[in-house]
């Protein structure tokens, strides 16, 4: 179902050069300019070089709150909204800005469904350290990412949980603009990041949204200040569009969990769903589940108890099977596994970015969207960061199908894996929470 635009773009007298010049000079784009330029760009009537100039002007000049709300709506108007029918449960979703070992979506979606909500999780593939959520799930034999709107609705009604690719008609303007930003040095623009994320979530039709905004070396946002600005921007957009939105700022200075890779993270997620798993993955999964259930209006479920009992695992099995996957099938295993040992005794310190880069060099991630990923590649932490180690003890394992990649992975770890004499204190996992926006006139 297409959501009608509030502006008839066919009758608007606007040119791309005028739009670019307005923002270049620090002016405010009108509703007509925004609606026209995004619609025309989606149709191919505004050239990539013109949209690149506008994206750079937005990065340098910013947008005011009204502009950003209208820009997001125009992104939504470029395609169709899912308009999911009632599935008998409240709809609630989660989005993470991504990190190293960020496997949380996999146990979180079935957990929240097991607690009584329905989760329409539209996810993507990764570009960088490791694969995205879809890449991880595609390591399961038979599992498919692409579902029709009817299949999504049916699975939500039956299982309460779906993780799949966005439908092709959902926010096509973002698909074009996202690719352009990646090659024009405009990825860092907070208005463009926020509108990209929020336009898809609003078009998805969820009733509530929890954002996990990562902070630290392994995150897109390296500082708490920038992460909070992004969180406030997205919460502001959600509020302006009537979507109940909460954001959590969480630490990404060290990897989450012990597995960094595609099939490796699926195995860890299954362990968590069966009542085990690393304490940090369990803690963040439960924290996000509580926030999602609060937005869904569900107060009589205890996600910590549900997860620990293993009651969410059957929901995982049904979700995977509904999309053609075999949840009992063996996951891919790397043909080459090599340990990294401690060079001296002390306390292990581990930087998220270094581990993520090592996993990428082993084949777990991609440099370009068209690159393939190795399902079995990645890094396994054998020792928890902050734990004591002895000389010669294995602390990591490098998994890959291309042994020639190991030296590059070891080089990536050279400055990020350290044995110290003093205690290593991990920052708190939960750093901040944003559920309302402080007064701000410009982003």
Helix, strand or coil for residue 4? coil
Strand partners, 163: 121
Which of the residues 176, 200, 201, 290 is marked catalytic?
200
The dihedral of CA 236, 240, 246, 251: what is its sign? negative
Tokens 């294995």 found at:
394
d(CA 69, CA 65): 6
d(CA 221, CA 79): 29
d(CA 310, CA 320): 16
Q: Is 31 a catalytic residue?
A: no
Q: Is 48 a catalytic residue?
A: no
Which of the residues 78, 139, 189, 196 is marked catalytic?
196
Instruction: Please give the torsion angle defined by the CA atoms of residues 383, 389, 391 and 394, in that order, rounded to the nearest 10 degrees.
Output: -10
Q: In Å, how far from its chain's centre is CA 160?
A: 20
d(CA 169, CA 158): 24
Which of the residues 93, 174, 251, 351 is marked catalytic?
174
Q: Is 174 a catalytic residue?
A: yes
Q: Is 200 a catalytic residue?
A: yes
Neighbours of 220 (CB within 10 A): 18
Q: Is 64 a catalytic residue?
A: no
**Both tokens of residue 302?**
């205890």
Tokens 């690393």 found at:
278
What residues contact 122, with CB distance under 8 A and at least 6 apart? 93, 164, 165, 166, 170, 200, 204
Q: Is 352 left (phi over 0), alpha (psi -120 to 50) or beta?
A: alpha
Which of the residues 70, 129, 136, 181 is marked catalytic?
181
Supply the DSSP string of 366-387, one letter for each residue.
BSSTT----TT-EEEESS-TT-
Which of the residues 95, 176, 214, 290 is marked catalytic?
95
The catalytic site residues sit at 95, 174, 181, 196, 200
């Amino acid at each position: 179902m297409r959501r009608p635009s509030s502006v008839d773009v066919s009758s608007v007298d606007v040119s791309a050069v005028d739009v670019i010049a307005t923002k270049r000079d620090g002016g405010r784009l009108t509703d007509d300019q925004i609606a026209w330029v995004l619609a025309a760009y989606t149709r191919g009537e505004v050239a990539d070089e013109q949209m690149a100039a506008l994206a750079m002007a937005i990065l340098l000049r910013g947008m005011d709150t009204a502009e950003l709300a209208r820009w997001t709506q125009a992104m939504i108007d470029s395609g169709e909204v899912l308009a999911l029918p009632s599935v008998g449960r409240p709809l609630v979703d989660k989005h993470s800005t991504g990190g190293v070992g960020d496997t949380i979506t996999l146990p979180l979606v079935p957990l929240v469904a097991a607690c009584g909500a329905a989760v329409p999780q539209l996810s993507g593939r990764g570009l960088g350290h490791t694969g995205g959520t879809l890449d991880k799930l595609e390591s399961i034999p038979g599992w498919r990412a692409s579902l029709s709107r009817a299949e999504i609705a049916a699975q939500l009604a039956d299982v309460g949980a779906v993780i799949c690719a966005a439908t092709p008609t959902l926010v096509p303007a973002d698909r074009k603009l996202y690719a352009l930003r990646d090659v024009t040095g405009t990825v860092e623009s907070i208005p463009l990041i926020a509108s990209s994320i929020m336009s898809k979530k609003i078009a998805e039709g969820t009733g509530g949204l929890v954002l996990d905004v990562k902070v630290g070396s392994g995150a897109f946002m390296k500082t708490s200040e920038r992460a909070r600005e992004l969180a406030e921007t997205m919460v502001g957009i959600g509020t302006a569009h009537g979507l109940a939105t909460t954001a959590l700022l969480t630490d990404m200075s060290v990897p989450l969990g012990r597995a960094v890779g595609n099939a490796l993270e699926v195995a860890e997620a299954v362990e968590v769903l069966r009542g085990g798993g690393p304490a940090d993955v369990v803690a963040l999964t439960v924290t996000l589940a509580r926030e999602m259930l609060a937005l869904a209006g569900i107060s009589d479920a205890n996600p910590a108890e549900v997860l620990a009992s293993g009651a969410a695992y059957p929901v995982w099995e049904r979700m995977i099977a509904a999309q053609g996957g075999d949840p009992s099938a063996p996951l891919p295993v790397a043909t080459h596994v090599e340990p990294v040992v401690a060079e001296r005794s002390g306390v292990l310190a581990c930087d998220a970015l270094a581990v993520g880069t090592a996993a990428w060099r082993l084949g777990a991630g991609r440099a370009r969207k068209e690159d393939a990923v190795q399902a079995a590649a990645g890094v396994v932490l054998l020792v928890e960061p902050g734990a004591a180690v002895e000389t010669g003890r294995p602390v990591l394992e490098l998994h890959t199908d291309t042994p020639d990649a190991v030296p590059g992975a070891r080089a990536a770890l050279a400055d990020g894996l350290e044995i110290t004499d003093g205690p290593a204190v991990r920052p708190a996992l939960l750093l901040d929470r944003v559920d309302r926006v402080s007064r701000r006139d410009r982003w």
